[in-house]
Amino acid sequence: MRFFLTIYVIFVYVIDVIQSLKCYSCSGGHTCGSLFSPDSSNVKIVTSPHREEYFSCAISVTPEGVTSRHAIPSHACRSSSHQFCCNHDLCNSLPSPPLPALTARKCVLGKCVMDDGICVDEDEQITVLSSATESCSITSSKGVYQKSFTHNCQPTVRDLTRHVHELSTRSSVMCCNSPECNREILTNAVKGSSLQCYTCDSRISGLAGCQILDPSSPNVYKSGTSSPSESCATIVGVEGQDPVTKIKYPAFVIRTFISKCVDHSLGKVSYGGATFHGRIQCCKSHLCNKDTLTTKKSRGVRYTRKLLLIMTIAIGLLVATIVTGLISFILYRKRVRDTYGSRDTQDPAESISLSRTKSLRGTAKDYPEQSAVPI
């Protein structure tokens, strides 16, 4: 009996250890900040409390620039320019929170228990996801619904209205990707088949495998959604500067899900609470977000803009020439009128004087020929 009890205790301990989340832990110093080194003497590995369901690894930076790394309750995660959270072992190894920061990808944390067809909620809390590869989720088993979030979510529920009775007896997973979409999922049933899309986030794992899609990359996932309103999306952003920290960030690529997705050409766009200069391309079939997008303007667009610029300059020069010609003509007419028009309008007294002068002058008839003059 003692032997079986010992085996049971060891088994429970092993399960707890397996389910616990491992995170790096340190505070202050260069080896904890931008020059992070897991081999540093002041960096330790900690685990989340046993049987604690909602814990995350975090990187937090104070306004003074002091970095700390810890395992924290997930409801304390507030993704921002100063904080990054993640949910797989030793994931808080980035030099600093990735930029631009996603600040609006909120999920509900909590539990509800089915009682006579009504799911009674316990205390709910909110977390803000830092990565585009994470989704809000509901995991159900035997009438208990866990509202949380999942990295590389794989839904098993495609039509909640049809499976609502099955959810109370078999384990099911629902995934969605809009703010707090896992709050009212039972009263607002999701209909339709789940969509599968590629997900990756180069802000966290680098451009390799994500910019030019490599499905075999360990940082690229084939994730799913239960929501018919969501589409696959590819997001590209050019290098920029974070408006809060004034820190510059490099170009990035994100492949993920977007609810009610709309294509955006190169310009100012927004995703997950972040605003940046880039573009978004949406599609609605399985694993369709595999195109390689560029942030360079197409040759046709460049030629069209150059042609418009040339035409604008030409029209401007033509208008300027016409206006200059008209002004010159008007000034010329004015000079002619001032010069010759004054002779036609001489003073009357001056005209009479000239007439008298002409009348006093002798003519050939007034003098005899020289041969007639007496010598």
Domains annotated for the chain, with CATH where assigned, are 20-97 (2.10.60.10)
Say what the pLDDT of residue 258 is. Answer: 97
Question: In which residue ranges of the chain is pLDDT below 70?
Answer: 1-19, 50-52, 116-118, 158-170, 185-193, 297-305, 340-375
Residues whose CB is less than 8 angstroms from the CB of residue 239 and which lie 6 or more positions away in sequence, other chains included = 248, 249, 250, 251
d(CA 43, CA 40): 5
Coil vs helix vs strand at 83: strand
Say what the pLDDT of residue 90 is. Answer: 94
Alpha helices in the chain (DSSP H): 2-19, 160-163, 202-205, 299-340, 348-360
Q: In the beta sheet, which residues pair with residue 322?
A: none
Specify whether the backbone of 117 is left (phi greater than 0), alpha (psi in -120 to 50) or beta: left
Say what the pLDDT of residue 140 is. Answer: 85
**8 Å CB contact between 24 and 38:** yes
CB neighbours of residue 340 within 10 Å: 9
User: Per 3-state DSSP, what percentage of the chain is helix, strand, and coil (rounded to 5)?
Assistant: 25, 30, 45
Identify the DSSP state of 366: G
Over the stretch 267-320, which tens digit does the pLDDT of each residue have? 999 999 999 999 999 999 999 999 999 877 655 555 666 788 888 898 988 888
| Sheet strands side by side (includes 22-27) | 44-47, 22-27, 67-73, 55-61, 83-86
